[in-house]
Chain A
Amino acid sequence: MYFLSIDWWLILEKALLIFGIVGLSFFIAMYTTYAERKVAAWLQDRRGPNRAGPFGIFQPLADGGKLFFKEEIIPLASNKALFILGPALAMITALLTSTVIPWAAPFHTKSGGVIPMQVADVDMGILLVFGIVSVGVYGIMIGGWASNNKFSLMAAIRGASQMVSYELPMGLALIAVLFMTGSLKMSVIVQHQIEHGWNIMYQLLGFIIFFVCALAECNRTPFDLPEAENELNFGYHQEYSSMKLGFYLFAEYINMFISSAVMATVYFGGYDIPFVNEASWGLSSFWMTFISFSVLMAKTCFFLFVFLWIRWTIPRFRYDQLMNLGWKKLIPLALLNMIITAAVMLWLKK
């Protein structure tokens, strides 16, 4: 099927994959809101939501339904077009980052074709994630400014400067990984880890820096200053109601999910099953793809749990502490990590 010299089967294949991943992101985000409350309840010795369905399992559906049917309020003094653009941008950028993650081992069809479980294996790979994350600031900034509320604006500016600051150590921590793999392609990074062991074994410091920065990028506790209720009422989405608010909250959970998946892929071997050589099992390609996907999901869910765990354990940083940590501690540490990695690699190659 060729039309306009495009292979439409490829488009169809990718479209299915994209729908699958977007659906998965929404599903996981929905149930992370549930998990958040359950984990909080567990850590605080409470029961958590338990009314909607068995164990409160339909709570996210009830929440979503409630958000949809709430009254939609657009403040008179706000900038209407940008007020609507803000949450839309937040959602789009959150969903876009999943393009380059390899979700499972490639699927081999009977006719010898290979279907990669990845939307796009571009040469830029992980850099594309950074590009989209760096644009993700606009959702917050535009929403905060368009609300025409000084608390929203302050929260938006806090959020934006926090995200811009923490992108730097994140990138620097990642450079050390790229030294080792020699490629930005996500598929190559995973393949390298399957052959040489997971990156976490060589890049512990780099991973810690990356993880701290991921917390800050997702505006999670202890870096949830854009939403610091006691200082800023409710943060940059204070004027939002109904599903627009829902989009902002949802985008945060999707960001958490995607950054967990990125961490699992870059540092924890992606879809690789630890300690075994799964190629020797002789399973059919379908099961291999399925198992590897489940393994990646398990790793991702573990990181999601750590996100929640930290939220209910560690109190919030002060704003100057946040900036100090980012600029004066994490960046020098990341640079040090980078130099040591480079030196060791040079020494090993000699």
Chain B
Amino acid sequence: MGVTQILFWFLSVMAVFSALMVITSKNPVYSVLWLIATFFAISGHYILFNAQFLAIVNIIVYAGAIMVLFLFVIMLMNLNRETEPQKNRWLKMAGAAAGGCLLLVLVAALKDTDMKQQQALINKGNIGLIKILGKELFTTYVVPFEISSVLFLSAMIGAVVIGKKE
């Protein structure tokens, strides 16, 4: 077992365990913190593929910005066990069924993919390095890239408009 494999298993176990802790923790602040741990584990996986840019951006954007906002909201609402609304049992079952359906769809979609042919390059792929990734983004994928930036801009403007007091 090489070091890459050891790291892979370590990161996988960490990712799955902390993802489970996100949904089983009673305290929402713990959930957010476990979610951050999950992001770190996933970033570790990106680094194993040498997708360094993706790994860092995942940490900066998700762990460093979005989760901070989550934490803000949760801390300010001061949620705890007493204030948590008692959910209907039927609601829980419906949720489980809906989640199960999503899982089924995902598994079905992945079942037919040709895994053996498309093994990721471990340690030597360099598409994740910033120079190559940037060239690819601004030549081959420039239209979707620009369109998604317009999407972000519209989301930002929308947030400002909603947040503005009349």
Binding site for B on A (CB under 8 A): 4-6, 79, 82, 122-124, 127-128, 130-131, 133-135, 137-138, 141-142, 145, 153, 156-157, 160-161, 164, 167, 183-184
B72–A135 CB distance below 8 A: no
Which of the residues B1, B55, B75 comes within 8 Å of A145, measured between beta carbons? B75
Q: Tell me the chain B residues, 107-166 only, with Cβ under 8 Å from chain A.
A: 129-131
Which of the residues A79, A123, A137 comes within 8 Å of B68, measured between beta carbons? A137
Specify which chain B residues have a CB less than 8 angstroms from the CB of A130 in the assembled complex. 56, 60
From A85, which residue of chain B is reached at the shortest CB distance? B33
Binding site for A on B (CB under 8 A): 1-3, 6, 29, 33, 36, 52-53, 55-57, 59-60, 63-65, 68, 71-72, 75-76, 129-131
CB distance from A173 to the nearest CB of B (A): 16
A135–B59 CB distance below 8 A: yes
Instruction: Tell me the interface secondary structure of chain B in the complex.
Output: helix
Specify which chain B residues have a CB less than 8 angstroms from the CB of A164 in the assembled complex. 65, 68
Instruction: Tell me the interface secondary structure of chain A in the complex.
Output: helix
Which of the residues A4, A135, A183 comes within 8 Å of B64, measured between beta carbons? A135
CB distance from B8 to the nearest CB of A (A): 13
A-B CB contact pairs (8 Å), 30 listed:
A4-B2, A4-B3, A5-B3, A82-B29, A123-B53, A124-B53, A127-B53, A127-B57, A127-B60, A127-B130, A130-B56, A131-B56, A131-B60, A133-B64, A134-B63, A135-B64, A137-B64, A138-B33, A138-B68, A138-B71, A141-B68, A141-B71, A141-B75, A145-B75, A153-B75, A156-B75, A157-B75, A160-B68, A164-B65, A164-B68
Specify which chain A residues have a CB less than 8 angstroms from the CB of B52 in the assembled complex. 122-124
Specify which chain B residues have a CB less than 8 angstroms from the CB of A183 in the assembled complex. 131
Specify which chain A residues have a CB less than 8 angstroms from the CB of B33 in the assembled complex. 82, 138, 142
Distance between Cα atoms of A186 and B106 in the complex (Å) = 41
Distance between Cα atoms of A301 and B130 in the complex (Å) = 32
B130–A124 CB distance below 8 A: yes
Distance between Cα atoms of A144 and B75 in the complex (Å) = 10
Specify which chain B residues have a CB less than 8 angstroms from the CB of A160 in the assembled complex. 68, 71-72
Distance between Cα atoms of A79 and B75 in the complex (Å) = 13
From B71, which residue of chain A is reached at the shortest CB distance? A141
CB distance from B27 to the nearest CB of A (A): 8
Specify which chain A residues have a CB less than 8 angstroms from the CB of B65 in the assembled complex. 134, 164
